[in-house]
Structure 1
Amino acid sequence: AEVPIAERAQRIAKVKRRLLSRAEEIAALLHRECGKPIEEAALAEVLPNADLIDYWTVSIEELLDESPVDLDPIAYPGKAGRIRREPRGVVALITPWNYPVAIPLRTIVPALLAGNAVVFKPSEVTPRSGALVASLFDGLLPDGVLAVAQGGGDVGAALIDAGVDLVVFTGSVATGKKIAVACAERLVPTSLELGGKDSAIVLGDCDLERAARGVVWGAFTNAGQNCASIERVYVEQAIADRFIERVVALTRQLRAGVDVGAMTTAQQAEIVRRQLAAAVADGAELLAGGAPEPGALAFPPTVLKVEREDTPLLREETFGPVLPVLVVKDAEEAIARTNASRFALTTSLWTRGYERAHALARRLRSGVVTINNHGFTGALPGAPWTGTGDSGSGITSSPHALAELTRPRFYLEDRSRAKGELWWYPYTPTLRTIAFAMARVRGGAGWSGRVGALVELVAAFARRLLGR
């Protein structure tokens, strides 16, 4: 925080070139450590972060600039007020394994620019990616301003116990709730971005080809291991057969290991397997894909037609390459079903009727709504990424993220030469007269009552100036 903002921005701007110059190295590491296709690693975790660094280093001075507070010169003579955004202090950043470069940088960059120190705990599943992220800042920061704490959940718990000033967590709902409780006991603020059960609402007037292609990408990018993955599709009955047929055809065209990578952990693959088996047992119709052999991480992109929602595949976060499709009567039913979930991160609407889409969007609980696209806005540094319910209420990206990473401090400067203030001691009958007369003048009485109160005020002010 002692380093001037302009100098912070100048130093951190250098991270962009380091990031881009190491693009192939980063993509190769993510392919090895997470199973991502090389192209997906570069497009999702390298290039958007160059935009992120540009956005924050260019805009941070203006975003942190102090703002004046208007004060009534009659009620508060000689006084001026300003609000400054101050750094929280030490930020504990705990991130998951699914986007182990992109997700940390979305907090590290603005947190450092705002004047905070960051203790970064990457997932124990992707330690090399976490170390690489930290290495991008080597030699650019004062000692100790960015530290890496490798390890499992015990390390995250120790960070909270260490007396940090803010915890930023992205991960599961279960872990997020534990962190929220631990931080509440210590009165430490939190920013929690948790699970998702995102839906795509496909309306009868959509561009069917674009909708099908967009839904397939939104469901299977990163092997579905994305809090914004499409995990529910509600398609209007009028186009359901044609839409499902096209989705299935496009899904079958996806190439294992090229278009869709392997899942990252055996534990997550087993969760997906169990949810899929339960849905099929409950009557879901398997249209493409299916579970691989036990223990395999190469999970085929899978499409099902589902009628019942009382199954874990529709109620819990799946975090894998499985796409349930449900046929609905109309948009009203789709909105109601979408909002019935306890998750509310993102929703996409697919339609040519933009005015109608905006009206429907206002009725959704989701923190992000996209029209004729899905999921990619997490990469937009100027757009807030946030949700409600079990998706958490943390905010990353956009100026709104600074509400998490900074705190407002109000400064009042008083240049009045008066010996005292109207409201200071002594409390007297004259002061009481002034208080109630002011209430009438400011709207507590009719016109004639205000005039009388104004006359009363003038006389009372004169007495108060004499110390009465």
Structure 2
Amino acid sequence: MDPFEDTLRRLREAFGAGRTRPAEFRAAQLQGLGRFLRDNKQRLQDALAEDLGKSVFESEVSEIAISQSEVDSTLRNLRAWMKDESVSKNLATQLDSAFIRKEPFGLVLIIAPWNYPLNLTLVPLVGAIAAGNCVVLKPSEVSKNIEKVLAEVLPRYLDQSCFAVVLGGPPETAQLLEHKFDYIFFTGSPHVGKIVMAAAAKHLTPVTLELGGKNPCYVDDNCDPQTVANRVAFFRYFNAGQTCVAPDYVLCSREMQERLLPALQSAITRFYGDNPQNSPSLGRIINQKHFKRLQGLLGCGRVAIGGQSDESARYIAPTVLVDVQETEPVMQEEIFGPILPLLTVSSLDEAIAFINRREKPLALYAFSNSDQVVRRVLAQTSSGGFCGNDGFMHMTLASLPFGGVGASGMGRYHGKFSFDTFSHHRACLLRSPGMEKVNDIRYPPHSPRDLRLLLLAMEQHSCNCVLL
């Protein structure tokens, strides 16, 4: 038997009955989500610590608080976002009503990853609820402790006729994807993203794919190396480097590399102590499979800082590699761990060329005291997001869309962008059933005069003219 059939039927019936459409219902579900976060804060922190070794600081900043903020902001703006959006009109439609209506898609599937298993499950869920959809949540089976909390506790806070959490690994996810959904939102690797997109294509289901990639970080010679080291190290080793927008490699001159290495060592020691394995601030690799993968990457180039590992503790030290070749494995795949390769370039032009001959990344970073240099990197490259002189702080702004481009993904979310992603923007024009005389110019038989008048009437004007 299909384990998902009854659940999906129940949710489709609820959507068909219009249960999720009223603003009051959407607000009530968002409020329930907020209570889930507040009531279970300690349990969520414990689960994140067990899965990823996350400190209270990391759990609060990157998982719980950011999810709560998304709920609160959406509740404040929900009714305004739901309103029909008036649009400008041409002369032919001046007496009519033209607007965009934001409609829910219907039954939405959200497939979440393991690296930020709470944030990357709940933030899309907020948008889907706000837009009035029924939702199937598929948390990652890899972060098993958070998966358990989401499966056992979250449904108590939501209307279970409209929302469901389903469990399983790749076989179950593949079976789930055989069903027709009205929208699919996936966060994960490009490899699995292709599988999701192929499954969606069978039903012509629209998708958002939040993928990854190798995020470049260019460091100009005109920089304070310690400031750069502090910021790069913090964002590279946050969550033990298991962050899709983390700086994945540094491009700099050989002279800057010599200045940057002692600064990075200083930052790592200040952040995590002389023995980072004992630091409560440094997370752990999610499982043995990823540990082994990362351990293999330590053989690329030459270890300049760190390099220690402990399989029993799933620990890899904050590591910096130098003398890395572009053809080595560490430069062929997203690292997703606490390893930072430094590659040398002779000029800004060479750095930009290096970035542009690779797939478009999810994020791109440029450090320089020269605003002109930062803006040139911005102007001559493409990426999902960009931040000058820092790490992924652009992620903290709900006013900015988050998403990839090309191989790093498609679609965008956060804040109102989430609401828009999970809404069908329906073009609406309401015309009068009377005043048929004004339509005579469009009916046969046609004359040159009628054509001129009709083309004039159909031109888009910025002014709000009235037809007298």
Q: How does 1:272-283 map to 2 (within 5 A)?
A: 272-277=294-299, 279=300
Change over 3 Å in CA distance of 1:395–1:239 after alignment to 2:
same
Max Rg structure: 1
The equivalences for 1:286-305 within 5 A come to 286-290=303-307, 292=309, 297-305=314-322
Q: Distance in 1 between matches of 2:384 and 2:127?
A: 21
Cα offset for 1:131?
4.2
Q: Deviations over 1:312-339 (max 9, x none)?
A: 2112111111110112223222222223
Task: Tell me if the contact between 1:131 and 1:148 (Cα under 8 Å) persists in the aligned partners.
Answer: no
The question of 1:263 aligning with 2:285 is answered: yes
The whole-number CA distance in structure 1 between the counterparts of 2:198 and 2:352 is 32
C-alpha distance in 1 between matches for 2:284 and 2:458:
69
Counterpart of 1:60 in structure 2: which amino acid?
L
Question: Partners in 2 of 1:385 and 1:419 — Cα distance?
Answer: 48
In 1, the alpha carbon distance for the partners of 2:266 and 2:362 equals: 28
Provide closer, same or farther for how the CA distance between residues 239 and 132 of structure 1 changes in structure 2, counting only shifts above 3 A. same
Could you tell me which residue of structure 1 aligns to residue 405 of structure 2?
388
Residue 423 of structure 2 is aligned to residue 410 of structure 1: no
- Corresponding position: 1:116 with 2:138: no
Query: Structure 1 residues 69 and 316, CA, compared in 2 at 3 Å: closer, same or farther?
Result: same
- CA separation in 2, counterparts of 1:79 and 1:148? 44
Shift in CA distance, 422/269, structure 1 to aligned 2, threshold 3 Å: farther
Partners of 2:267 and 2:455 lie apart in 1 by 72
Is the contact made by 2:135 and 2:162 (CA closer than 8 Å) also made in structure 1?
Answer: yes
State the SS of the aligned residue for 1:125: coil
Aligned twin of 2:26: 8
Q: For residue 376 of structure 1, report the CA deviation from its aligned partner.
A: 3.9
User: Is 1:177 aligned with 2:194?
Assistant: yes
Q: CA deviation at 1:379?
A: 4.0
The equivalent position to 1:246 in structure 2, one of 263, 271, 281, is 263
Q: How far does residue 241 in structure 1 lie from its aligned partner after superposition?
A: 1.0
Instruction: Give SS of 2:109's match.
Output: strand
| 1:87-236 matches, cutoff 5 A | 87-133=104-150, 138=155, 140-236=157-253
Q: Does the 8 Å contact 1:105/1:133 carry over to 2?
A: no
CA distance in 1 between partners of 2:457 and 2:103 (Å): 36
Q: How does 1:339-350 map to 2 (within 5 A)?
A: 339-350=356-367
Q: What's 1:375 paired with?
A: 392
How far off its partner does 1:200 sit? 1.6
Residue 362 of structure 1: SS of its match in structure 2?
helix
Report SS of the residue matched to 2:283: coil
Give the alignment's TM-score, normalised by structure 1. Answer: 0.86
Unaligned runs of 5+ in 2: 1-17, 460-468
Which residue is 2:13 aligned to? none
Flag the 1:27–1:236 CA change in 2: closer, same or farther, 3 A.
same
Distance 1:440 1:132, change over 3 A: closer
- Aligned amino acid, residue 241 of structure 2: G
1:49 partnered with 2:67: yes
Report the AA paired with residue 216 of structure 1. A
Worse overlay, 238-247 or 182-191: 238-247
Cα distance per residue 1:337-381 (max 9 Å; x no partner): 223321411112222223442332122211111122112433433
Alpha-carbon contact 2:29-2:129 (below 8 Å) kept: no
* 1:25-46 alpha-carbon deviations (Å, 9 max, x no partner): 2111111122223332222111
Q: 2:440 aligns with which of 380, 401, 422?
A: 422
Distance 2:239 2:416 in 1: 28
Partner of 1:33: 51
One of 424, 436, 448 as aligned partner of 1:433: 448
Deviations 1:281-300 (A, max 9, x none): xxx22112225356661111
Which segment drifts farther, 378-387 or 22-31? 378-387
Pairs aligned (count): 435
**Aligned equivalent of 1:311:** 328
Q: Deviations over 1:66-96 (max 9, x none)?
A: 11233334x2364222110101111101111
Query: Which residue in 2 is equivalent to 1:455?
Result: none
Identity %: 26
Instruction: Provide TM-score, normalisation by structure 2.
Output: 0.86
C-alpha distance in structure 1 between counterparts of 2:79 and 2:151, whole Å: 24
**1:398 pairs with 2:415:** yes
Judging changes above 3 Å, is the alpha-carbon distance between structure 1 residues 343 and 224 closer, same or farther for their aligned structure 2 residues?
Answer: farther
Distance 1:304 1:353, change over 3 A: same
Aligned position for 1:448? none
Q: 1:423 to 1:101 in 2, by over 3 A?
A: farther
Q: Write the distance in 2 (CA, Å) between the matches of 1:6 and 1:236.
A: 57
Distance in 1, matches of 2:212 and 2:365, equals 17
Which whole-Å deviations, capped at 9, do the CAs of 1:397-451 have from their partners, x for residues lacking one?
Answer: 13233342111112221114134733665x32xx14345444887999xxxxxxx
CA RMSD of aligned residues (A): 2.6
How many Å apart are 1:150 and its aligned residue? 0.5
Cα contact 2:150–2:165 (8 A) shared by 1:
no
For residue 37 of structure 2, what is the aligned residue in structure 1? 19
| 3-state SS, counterpart of residue 344 of structure 1 | coil
Q: Letter of the aligned partner of 2:180 in structure 1?
A: G
3-state SS in 2 of match to 1:119:
strand
